[in-house]
Structure 1
Amino acid sequence: MRRLFALLSLLLLAAPAFAETAPKPLYRDPVYDGAADVSSIYDRAQHRWVMFYTNRRATLKLPDPKDVSWVHGTPIGMAISKNGLKWRYAGMAKFPAACTGPTLWAPEMYYEAGTYHMWLTVVPGIYISWGHGATAKIVHLTSPDLKSWTCSDTVETGSERVIDPSVIKLSDHHYRLWYKDERKGSRIFALDSDDLVHWKKVLNHPVIDTNAEGPKVFFFKGWYWLIADKWEGLIVLRSNDAASWELQPTRLLEQPGTHATDNAKGQHADVIVNDGHAFIYYFVHQENAPEAKTDPYWHQRTAVQVAELHFDKGWLSVDRNADVTTPLMAPE
């Protein structure tokens, strides 16, 4: 009996290390309830993960249901986590007014050699319709600590309305940035740089001849992958050189999940490759949530979810209903 009691005690002590599961939803913004377009990075000094996200003003109930000013005037929210499974609100990011504006979208995070980099979509106003916003630009900021930010430069693309940057390092002093050009059919284009400041266009044609937004590029299982939001699930492209891309036959997160906050298409995702795993962080509009039956504005609200990507016969798959229990490790 004593041996059995000792064994049970050991199991109970060990259980918390294995029992933590990412909740559904993973995260909701406590101020506006409109967290979207996330990008996360590891804070080397604080030993924790920091999620930056577009903080849509989803609780606004505007008289005109077609008024989209709630998707403008958006700050960048922050959440923190020790393990990527449980997140808590950490306020709103503060940026220099000299290079930003009233509407901030889709942060993209990158770290190298003691400096944190953020590429941020800046829209110079708050607009009631999508057509009113004449311009949008991608601004580059840097920080030593993820708190104080300095204006660096504006990415020159040759277009007056570009959004949704994604940046990776391909080799020593060779970086590539993908973005959506809304003046060119909402296609996704790429730029190259050797210093993260001066960029030049890789090709004059888009990576794929289809409209999409929120590209996210990463390396996993021997391939470069580009995931983008097609507004009917996420398209997936793969490449062995990050230049020529092949379209996956199936889309990710096109079919709703079973959870009450995850039962619509997944949108504008971030992907973290960590310790041999790849995790996709996406947002879901709450149009099918129970509250939407009585609140016609509830569809504006968005929740962040997480799932693990799997490499299956050369392509990517995901089970959005499966529990995520693998924590994020500190990067090397």
Structure 2
Amino acid sequence: MYRDPMYDGATDPVVIWNRAERAWWLVYTARRATAPAREDVSWVHGSDLGVASSADGGRTWLYRGVMEGLDTEWGRHTYWAPEIIDDGATYHMYVSVIRGVPDAWTPHDRHIRHYTSPDLVRWTYRSTLDLSSPRVIDACVAPLPGGGHRLWYKDEAHGSHTWAADSDDLYRWRVHGPAVTISAHEGPNVFTLGGRHWMIVDEWHGQRVLVSDDLDVWRPRGLILDGPGEFGHHADVVVTGEEAVVFYFTHPGGERGSTVRAARLRVLDGELTCDRDLTGPILPVAGPVIHP
């Protein structure tokens, strides 16, 4: 569906409706896949958040640039895995941040920062979330049925499991505890479809599906995006009524570069199903489906 024209490293996608522009925006980790080859992982770091837009329901995407104004100190830093939600007046972004450009995976701290924006362009830093460890990434935020919101994230200091935190106002968060501990994984994404709550997590051989009645207890229900073809990594889901679209990335042929793809999700006989064969518009051209 989409490849980053600058560094060919589009990963960790999130898709959000831009109210002012009346277009869908794809925001992603812009890995520097075309950086000179070295025997380290510096190319995975030093990443900006890339932006592409679509005014035709996701049929075509136009690269627009990178998000600016996120730095809170001097230097080149690493931005991963944005999560963006719209409360109707303000966009809230929760993004994983690493200081500098490390050339190794460890022992560098990772934190989740909160920013707000009126237009998806001008961002104001609000806080660095105080969560369960200093090694947290991959935020996902969804509303709770009784009010408030829950944040799910990967805690690398606790087995690379998904943990959760709750908030009444999207600004102040309190740790709720471990949420999914059945395997090491990353990239949790939570959505409601077909009258049920679903979570998908990236186990690096496809997306593990879990279902919940209360957003507290999660039961595993198999895999999606595990074949045929490339495994689907770190995904985002946009619900479009009785169906949904999952956006994920792959490494075609195992190469360093990456491709963002999309697939259709449906709930059939109580199970989440996935169809990768999509053509034409994949999202509502006029914007999100609003449920009364």
Answer yes or no: same fold by TM over 0.5: yes
Partner of 2:92: 117
Q: Structure 1 residue 323 and structure 2 residue 279: aligned?
A: yes
Query: 63, 74, 84: which is aligned to 2:38?
Result: 63
Q: Structure 1 residue 256 and structure 2 residue 228: aligned?
A: yes
Query: 169, 172, 191: which is aligned to 1:195?
Result: 169
Letter in 1 for 2:272: L
- How is 1:168-207 mapped onto 2 (pairs within 5 angstroms)? 168-171=142-145, 173-203=147-177, 205-207=178-180
Tell me the number of residue pairs that the alignment of Structure 1 and Structure 2 aligns: 286
Distance 2:205 2:123 in 1: 35
Question: Which has the greater radius of gyration?
Answer: 1
Give percent identity, aligned residues only.
41
Evaluate the alpha carbon distance shift between residue 305 and residue 189 of structure 1 in structure 2; reply closer, same or farther with a 3 A threshold.
same
Distance 2:236 2:182 in 1: 22
Partner of 1:233: 206
Unaligned runs of 5+ in 1: 1-25, 258-263, 289-298
Letter in 2 for 1:78: V
Partner of 2:248: 282
The structure carrying a bigger strand percent of its residues is 2
Letter in 2 for 1:273: V
Query: 236, 251, 257: which is aligned to 1:270?
Result: 236
Structure 1 stretches (4+) deviating beyond 6 angstroms?
A: none
Whether contact under 8 Å (1:79, 1:89) holds in the other structure is: yes
The structure carrying a bigger helix percent of its residues is 1
Q: Structure 1 residue 243 and structure 2 residue 216: aligned?
A: yes
1:196 is paired with a residue of what secondary structure? Answer: coil
1:251 is paired with a residue of what secondary structure? Answer: strand
Whether contact under 8 Å (1:306, 1:324) holds in the other structure is: no
Evaluate the alpha carbon distance shift between residue 317 and residue 99 of structure 1 in structure 2; reply closer, same or farther with a 3 A threshold.
farther
1:118 is paired with a residue of what secondary structure? Answer: strand
Whether contact under 8 Å (1:39, 1:53) holds in the other structure is: yes
Letter in 2 for 1:143: S
Unaligned runs of 5+ in 2: none
Question: Over aligned residues, Cα RMSD in angstroms?
Answer: 1.6
Pairwise CA distance, 1:256: 3.3
Letter in 2 for 1:311: V
Whether contact under 8 Å (1:190, 1:207) holds in the other structure is: no
Query: 32, 36, 52: which is aligned to 1:79?
Result: 52
Whether contact under 8 Å (1:73, 1:126) holds in the other structure is: yes
Pairwise CA distance, 1:207: 2.2
Partner of 2:72: 98
1:142 is paired with a residue of what secondary structure? Answer: strand
Whether contact under 8 Å (2:240, 2:283) holds in the other structure is: no
Whether contact under 8 Å (2:179, 2:217) holds in the other structure is: no
